[in-house]
Chain A
């Protein structure tokens, strides 16, 4: 258990060390932020809003083609890019500033 958890830690650390990465948030299916590198209030805000967005995006993809499914969601804004990797039970959210 310990070493497996270490792998998770290592992955996250690797992601964090990439250029421009500002924050990482892991949210579960109920919208609870499990792990985060941001402060609590921002995390909660992101978790709540992004959860809804992912649900909507997924339903959109599946409505168009029921065989299809959402694999990745990228929201590019003026200041940064929010990347969301959705799964059945958890989301991995990374906020990156790509033009740095």
Chain B
């Protein structure tokens, strides 16, 4: 809308001066708001408005006179000497000093300062203001009343067909991962759909394994390389050794050649201490211990046949079930065999005969676990049949300490890396036992039922606080034990040393006694050597012994059966009397069954 104001002016009045006069206000234009215009606009919501609440300042520049600075250092040799005194000259300095000392001011000042100073010195001597009052009392850690262990996590085999978790290995740095090897150890139980995979679990995630390892044949044992945490080596059921690099995927990087591998499942593989960090050795029930360099897996670098007669005869060899290697003693290693014998070997021996140093026998079944005590390498733990035994290297004939015979087979065991007197064992009935032989020798300090099925493997983490056990159905359970069981107690090392020494001494004395007795007997038998018949009897051959044993056995069985028959008759008569009628012979079988079961119960 145009705003127009019209006025007229006479031409003759152009150029005349203006006369101003007051006028009241006049409304010329009044533009009312037009609501229809609002349709052209929309409300802005929200509104971004920047507000600043600061001091308003202005910037000015001023040019000042230049001030020159120069950094320089001062070498202080000796300060303050007046210009006429040369500080190097002894005479001049002494003269100057003497002059100062004669100054009256000096004397007065010094008297005053001296008395003040003496006061302070005496103060210091009287009382030590920084004295520690309770210095000797160390903070005594409260031993929690009961040792305990609790399950933290359970990792189940994700496959349909469950396999046994035969071996566990902790990740070397920080132990945040657990590698578990799965295989079925039961004879000919491997079905077509049973998977061969083994898994690496991240401890936080129990739903899905972090990584799968796909071997050609199920893995029986698996170990992380302590020097390189990406490399794992595994021994498989068909006797081959394979190694994986976790950066390179699930397939093994290389596998050993079948012709040169073991002929039986590889039960244990351990990394060796070497500069390259690529050496390892493996043991299997085919009686061989093979050394491998993972860079060249086509054939083993060394081979040892566990023949106790030291002839390298494979037929005679003892099947190896477990291996032991301690990095502090790199030339020695020990093998636990199927026959219950521990063989101690020297790797650096020149001839194969010298490789086997000595044997320790005492177990009745295969030795499932063998480990040296991390604090006392001279003593080692073996777990086999129904007992766990502790041995000393010096005593060959028997162990120095042993547990009682349990109701279930012990399947694995290991020492605690944190405490020298604590070790763990797992049994076929699914219980985990924690033994502390400084606390209690007859029973485990703590016995926990981990699961209903048998436990097959056990591994303690390096800090001694967490341990993983693997069961028959492939469940790996992660347990945390109470701090009392994994922190070193005061005097523990001394007490453990004392105990080991005492037991070793006892065994030595027993051995000496036995030897003496044997010597006496031998000398006695030698004296009566004129009696040839007696001598012949003493040298019975193996077959005669077997026949004799068989005869005795059958005699005992017959005697027992006769006794049972008499008992049956008595029971039958008693029953008849009760029922008032004759009982047929079939019922006698029922009776005998009852008798059998009742006799087993005791």
Contacts and interface: CB of A to CB of B under 8 A. Distances in A.
Contact of A11 (B104, B110, B121): B110
Interface string A63-95: 000000001101010000101010111101010
B595 interface: no
B80 to A, nearest CB: 3
B273 to A, nearest CB: 43
Interface stretch (B53-61, B111-119, B441-449): B111-119
B120 A74 contact: yes
Interface string A20-39: 11000010101110110000
Contacts of A74: 120
B123 to A, nearest CB: 9
Contacts of B96: 32
Given A19-B125, A34-B97, A34-B101, A7 B81 contact: no
B106 A90 contact: yes
A92 B79 contact: no
A32 B81 contact: yes
A26 B124 CA distance: 20
Interface in A7-61: 7-8, 11-12, 14-15, 18-21, 26, 28, 30-32, 34-35, 44, 47-48, 51
B114 A96 contact: no
Contacts of A20: 121, 124-125
Contact of B79 (A32, A87, A94, A99): A32
B109 A89 contact: yes
Nearest to A97: B124
Contacts of A19: 125
B289 to A, nearest CB: 58
A34 B100 contact: yes
Nearest to A74: B120
Interface string B81-98: 110000000000000110
B398 to A, nearest CB: 57
A48 B79 contact: yes
B113 A21 contact: no
Interface in B144-185: none
Contact of A15 (B79, B102, B118, B125): B118
A31 B80 contact: yes
Contacts of A47: 79
B97 A15 contact: no
Contacts of B101: 5, 8, 34-35
- Most chain A CB within 10 A, of B81, B110, B122, is at B110
B76 interface: yes
A98 B80 contact: no
Contacts of A85: 113-114, 116-117
A79 B424 CA distance: 50
B107 A31 contact: no
Contacts of A4: 104, 107
B532 interface: no
A92 B80 contact: no
Contact of A5 (B78, B107, B120): B107
A96 B121 contact: yes
Interface SS majority for chain B: helix
Contacts of A92: 110, 113-114, 117
B124 A98 contact: yes
Contacts of B315: none
Nearest to B82: A30
B80 A32 contact: yes
Contacts of B116: 71-72, 85
Given A8-B111, A83-B120, A30 B80 contact: yes
B128 interface: yes
Given A19-B125, A94-B121, A5 B79 contact: no
Contact of B112 (A35, A87, A94, A99): A87
B105 interface: yes
B109 A30 contact: no
A5 B99 CA distance: 12
Given A5-B107, A92-B110, A99 B117 contact: no
A96 B122 CA distance: 11
B128 A90 contact: no
Contact of B109 (A7, A71, A90, A99): A90
Given A5-B101, A5-B102, A96-B124, A12 B79 contact: no
A15 B117 contact: yes
Given A15-B117, A34-B100, A7 B111 contact: yes
A48 B80 CA distance: 9
B79 A26 contact: no
A96 B123 CA distance: 12
Contact of A94 (B107, B111, B117): B117
A42 to B, nearest CB: 12
Contacts of A48: 76, 78-79
Nearest 4 Cβ contacts at the A-B interface: A30-B80, A31-B80, A11-B114, A98-B124
19 contacts: A4-B104, A4-B107, A7-B107, A7-B111, A8-B101, A8-B110, A11-B115, A30-B80, A30-B82, A32-B79, A32-B80, A35-B101, A47-B79, A71-B116, A74-B120, A92-B110, A92-B114, A96-B124, A98-B128
Given A31-B79, A48-B76, 9 more contacts: A8-B114, A14-B118, A15-B114, A32-B79, A48-B79, A51-B79, A71-B116, A74-B120, A85-B116
